[in-house]
């Protein structure tokens, strides 16, 4: 009887709660805050996508979850922000898959040069079984992968010379993302690559520490790289996805309703981001030329030489990435083109 009475008292102790009552999303008490950071600036579609995520989440949770957004590496670079998620001091980051491979090696499958033929195939593979399976592997790293977004096909810029063929890479100091496969692929092309966080890149180009870098047109234009780079070539050598990451400890602390809301919002905002990004990548090559950059087209023949040069590197990395993952991705690419 005593137990029953105590339990009843416990249930009636509602006065002790904050008095805010239940929110529409089923949670009670104080609002939770998501600190979300990215490396790109506020003009980039990635940030527009993040604002979309904020809008959806704040509306659907009736303010029970608040999203604070930070761009331009204000909270750090891809790697340090991902580590902050693991520590639980930051809740969201949207890094490229390339630096994520330092946490889950299988993500390097997307660093295989000349892997995807176009964005539509990339979407199918990433949003399909193998892409989602890879997101699942993040859990062991205390991370939750909610969806894929896009940076896109990467193209080479530099301040030294027009790059039309593999010979033109000779000795070029190229910044790569912090990823071993990128590094070795650029070495195989004859360049002199240096891995570096995105947050340090502009200054490195400005000061001549590196001659060039590679990113999609939208990023090159919106980050104003044309101010410090003279040449651009459509190498299109790697398709870069972003992963929308959430800290696992934060995610686990959400109600089931809230987990669904953040997951769906990351997917929906990602669709919006991909759309904006594709429009941007289409229009900014022209603008780069208007800003004074010289554009060099890579012929099919010249691109094939690049494909051949990196083939041994890919072979070498298959076991490091995991043969099973590599095979599944190749199969998914084939299926997507049927």
> Measured from the CB atom, is 37 or 131 closer to ligand KDG?
37
User: In this chain, which of 36, 50, 134, 177 binds ligand KDG, going by CB under 6 A?
Assistant: 177
End-to-end alpha-carbon separation of the chain, Å?
69
143-153 and 239-247 beta bridge pairing? antiparallel
Residue 41 or 249: which CB sits closer to ligand KDG?
Answer: 41
If one asks whether residue 198 binds ligand KDG (CB under 6 A), the answer comes out as yes
Q: Does 40 bind ligand KDG (CB under 6 A)?
A: yes
d(CA 166, CA 153): 18
- Environment class of 160 (CB within 10 Å of its CB; exposed 0-12, middle 13-18, buried 19+): middle
CB 41 within 8 A of CB 85: no
Interatomic CA distance for residues 198 and 144, integer angstroms: 23
Minimum separation from the CB atom of position 211 to ligand KDG (A): 16
What is the smallest separation between the CB atom of 2 and ligand KDG, expressed in angstroms? 58
Q: Does 157 bind ligand KDG (CB under 6 A)?
A: no
E strand intervals along 154-302? 155-158, 173-176, 192-195, 212-215, 231-233, 239-247, 294-296
Helix (H, G, I), strand (E, B), or coil: what is residue 205? Answer: helix
Name the residue number minimizing CB distance to ligand KDG.
39
**Site residues (CB under 6 A) for ligand KDG, limited to 56-95:** 78, 94-95
Pick from 34, 36, 38, 109: which binds ligand KDG (CB under 6 A)? 38
Q: Which of 61, 215, 247, 296 binds ligand KDG (CB under 6 A)?
A: 215
Alpha-carbon 206 to chain mean position: 25
Question: Nearest distance from residue 45's CB to ligand KDG, in Å?
Answer: 11
Could you tell me the smallest distance in angstroms from the CB atom of residue 205 to ligand KDG? 12
Tell me which residues touch ligand KDG (CB under 6 A). Answer: 38-40, 46, 78, 94-96, 151, 177, 198, 215, 240
């Amino acid at each position: 009887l005593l137990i029953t009475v105590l339990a009843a008292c416990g249930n009636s102790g509602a006065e002790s709660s904050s008095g805010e009552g239940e929110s529409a999303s089923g949670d009670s008490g104080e609002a939770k805050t998501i600190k979300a950071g990215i490396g790109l600036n506020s003009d980039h579609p990635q940030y527009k996508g993040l604002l979309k995520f904020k809008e959806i989440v704040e509306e659907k949770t009736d303010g029970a979850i608040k999203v604070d957004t930070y761009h331009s590496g204000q909270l750090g670079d891809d790697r340090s922000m991902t580590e902050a998620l693991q520590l639980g001091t930051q809740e969201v980051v949207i890094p490229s898959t390339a630096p994520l491979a330092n946490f889950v090696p299988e993500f390097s499958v997307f660093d295989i040069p000349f892997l995807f033929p176009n964005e539509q195939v990339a979407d199918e593979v990433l949003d399909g079984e193998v892409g989602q399976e890879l997101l699942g592997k993040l859990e062991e790293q205390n991370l939750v992968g909610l969806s894929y977004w896009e940076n896109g096909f990467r193209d080479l810029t530099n301040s030294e010379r027009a790059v039309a063929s593999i010979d033109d890479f000779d000795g070029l100091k190229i910044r790569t993302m912090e990823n071993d496969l990128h590094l070795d692929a650029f070495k195989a092309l004859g360049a002199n690559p240096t891995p570096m966080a995105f947050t340090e890149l502009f200054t490195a180009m400005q000061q001549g520490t590196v001659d060039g870098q590679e990113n999609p047109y939208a990023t090159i234009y919106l980050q104003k790289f044309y101010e410090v780079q003279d040449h651009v070539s459509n190498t299109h050598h790697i398709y870069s996805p972003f992963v929308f990451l959430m800290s696992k400890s934060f995610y686990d602390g959400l109600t089931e309703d809230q987990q669904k809301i953040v997951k769906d919002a990351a997917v929906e905002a990602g669709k919006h981001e991909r759309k904006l990004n594709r429009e941007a990548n289409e229009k900014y090559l022209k603008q780069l030329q208007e800003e004074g950059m010289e554009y060099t087209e890579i012929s099919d023949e010249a691109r094939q030489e690049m494909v051949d040069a990196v083939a041994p590197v890919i072979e070498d990395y298959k076991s490091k990435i995991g043969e099973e993952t590599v095979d599944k991705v190749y199969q998914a690419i084939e299926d997507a083109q049927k």
